[in-house]
Amino acid sequence: DAKTTQPTSMDCAEGRAANLPCNHSTISGNEYVYWYRQIHSQGPQYIIHGLKNNETNEMASLIITEDRKSSTLILPHATLRDTAVYYCIVRVPSNDYKLSFGAGTTVTVRA
């Protein structure tokens, strides 16, 4: 699976958009980009995933660059409850669906 690089931490003001970058320059053509988050000591929560097109759901938007070497997760209106560690993961589709988690980005939303 391709390796990802994320900033260690970032702050965001409540009510503002939070833009979380992820670099995956070695991504291969059939790898998907997934985002998960983990609120303190809870189980990781799926947020969104995509292959090449931008995606949006009720939680967030995922913007993938045209060359697919980087992506940005956008939380449109951050709330205090969005404070969590956010993980960007890429993986090769196969019968083995395990996820490899890196260190992620610790996002702190401040009032």
Partner 1 sequence: DSGVTQTPKHLITATGQRVTLRCSPRSGDLSVYWYQQSLDQGLQFLIQYYNGEERAKGNILERFSAQQFPDLHSELNLSSLELGDSALYFCASTDSTELLGNTIYFGEGSWLTVV
7 binds partner 1 (CB under 8 A): no
Give 13 or 103: the residue with its C-beta nearer to partner 1: 103
Give 15 or 28: the residue with its C-beta nearer to partner 1: 28
In terms of Cα–Cα distance, which of 76, 86, 85, 100 is closest to 15? Answer: 76
Tokens of 26: 């070695």
Q: What is the DSSP letter of 81?
A: G
Q: What are phi and psi of 17, to 5 degrees?
A: -75, 140
Give 14 or 38: the residue with its C-beta nearer to partner 1: 38
Residues that bind partner 1 (CB under 8 A): 32, 34, 38, 41-46, 49, 51, 93, 95-104
